[in-house]
């Protein structure tokens, strides 16, 4: 099971607007009004920033857009960007996107583990999650089968931080051939993160959805 694409995509569809020019100039007025609603940065108050680290998933853009729809400034950065540079942007949280690679493959994109020790919450999905699990001592293997497409997800864990406020039954889209067969046991960090793990109830293997680290 991979990313909860339903929760990323569905609200987008309902927000698509057509903005054709009107003879009375109403489109221009509409745009001015929308612009005023968008939170803007001022030198006095820098906006909260959520970084989306792009590992090659087509939906990295969707992740960033959903964060912005939650009225939080979001920036997509390449996974090759040095972690120090990411942290220099002073992010409030970091999201690791999915990607087509396998973490155990030669030349697969990697990430400096320093990112998990910086005191910034990190959320990983799909490839980002698998990279995170591996970096923190877990194991990711090939399942021997590729699974792709629409899937029903049931949130079974009560009080899950990751799924708080989302429906118990959800439709998601998955695309994976790897799975986390063993979760990290302990954090390498002197200040251990609080783990939050989510797994769909219908998963036949330990193909976890996502991990997040929350600094205490």
Contact 184, 133 (CB under 8 A): yes
* Using rule CB under 6 A, residue 138 touches ligand GLN: no
* Using rule CB under 6 A, residue 211 touches ligand GLN: no
Q: Which two tokens stand for residue 100?
A: 């087509």
Which is closer to ligand GLN, CB of 73 or CB of 127?
A: 127
* Using rule CB under 6 A, residue 176 touches ligand GLN: yes
26 CB contacts (<8 Å, ≥6 apart)? none
* Using rule CB under 6 A, residue 54 touches ligand GLN: no
- Report the site for ligand GLN in 79-98 (rule: CB under 6 A): 98
132 CB contacts (<8 Å, ≥6 apart)? 96, 116, 122, 124, 211, 213
Q: Which two tokens stand for residue 162?
A: 């990751």
List the one residue from 49, 173, 177, 195 that touches ligand GLN (CB under 6 A).
177
List the one residue from 74, 79, 101, 212 that touches ligand GLN (CB under 6 A).
101
Q: How many CB atoms lie within 10 A of CB 180?
A: 24
* Using rule CB under 6 A, residue 102 touches ligand GLN: yes
Which is closer to ligand GLN, CB of 51 or CB of 172?
A: 172
List the one residue from 1, 63, 91, 99 that touches ligand GLN (CB under 6 A).
99
185 CB contacts (<8 Å, ≥6 apart)? 137
Helix (H, G, I), strand (E, B) or coil at 22: coil
Question: Where on the chain is the footprint of ligand GLN (CB under 6 A)?
Answer: 2, 57, 98-102, 126-127, 130, 175-178
């Amino acid at each position: 099971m991979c990313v909860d694409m339903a929760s990323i995509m569905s609200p987008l569809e309902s927000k698509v607007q057509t903005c054709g020019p009107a003879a009375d100039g109403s489109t221009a007025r509409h745009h001015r009004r929308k612009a005023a609603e968008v939170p803007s940065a001022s030198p006095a108050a820098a906006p909260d920033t959520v970084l989306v680290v792009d590992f090659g998933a087509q939906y990295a853009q969707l992740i960033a857009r959903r964060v912005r729809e939650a009225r939080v400034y979001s920036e997509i950065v390449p996974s090759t960007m040095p972690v120090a540079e990411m942290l220099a942007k002073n992010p409030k949280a970091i999201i690791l996107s999915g990607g087509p690679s396998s973490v155990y493959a030669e030349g697969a994109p990697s990430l400096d583990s320093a990112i998990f020790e910086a005191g910034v919450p990190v959320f990983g999905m799909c490839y980002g999650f698998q990279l995170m699990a591996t970096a923190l001592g877990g194991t990711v293997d090939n399942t021997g089968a590729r699974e792709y497409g629409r899937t029903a997800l049931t949130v079974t864990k009560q009080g899950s931080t990751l799924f708080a406020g989302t429906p118990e039954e959800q439709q998601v889209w998955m695309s994976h051939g790897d799975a986390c067969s063993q979760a990290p046991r302990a954090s390498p960090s002197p200040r251990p993160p609080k783990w939050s793990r989510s797994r769909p109830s219908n998963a036949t293997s330990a193909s976890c959805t996502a991990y997040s680290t929350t600094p205490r």
